[in-house]
Amino acid sequence: MKLISEARKQGMKLFTDKTKGYVYNFQRAPRRICLKIRFKVIGRDENGFPFEKLAETVDISSGGGCLVFDKDVRKGENLKLYGPNGSSFLITVRWFKYDVYSDLRYVGFKLVEPARGWVVDYDLG
């Protein structure tokens, strides 16, 4: 969040909230690709207990994606993904949703830093 005058100097596309004098920079998220890849996920669940589970992506982008598996995790939690080719990636949980009908958890994540060997290594947008 930046002040309006600072954002205008930088030539940003802005959505302004004039009542508070703030500006929000809404950049479109990188394009997502529907792709299923199996990863081993290592981390801590919502109660702080360590776990190691297999998960599958629903979709991916150049900076993250969505996993589906059967563990509850907290937003902001750091997890480690191990790919089928042996590569590893550190991710942060951005959102978490539980589907009561399928008893599955959907976890939106982003890469902590751009990683070599990620499935999509450029922005498609």
What pLDDT does 31 receive? 78
Per-residue pLDDT at 124:
42
- Helix, strand, coil share of the chain (percent; to 5): 5, 45, 50
Stated pTM of the model: 0.71
* The predicted structure's pLDDT at residue 121: 66
CATH of domain 33-111: 2.40.10.220
**Whether the predicted pLDDT of 6 surpasses 80:** no
pLDDT digit string, tens, across residues 53-94: 999 999 998 889 999 999 999 999 999 999 988 889 999 999
Task: For the chain, give every domain's residue range.
Answer: 1-28, 33-111
Look at residue 116 in the predicted model and tell me its pLDDT.
76
Quick one: pLDDT at residue 125? 45
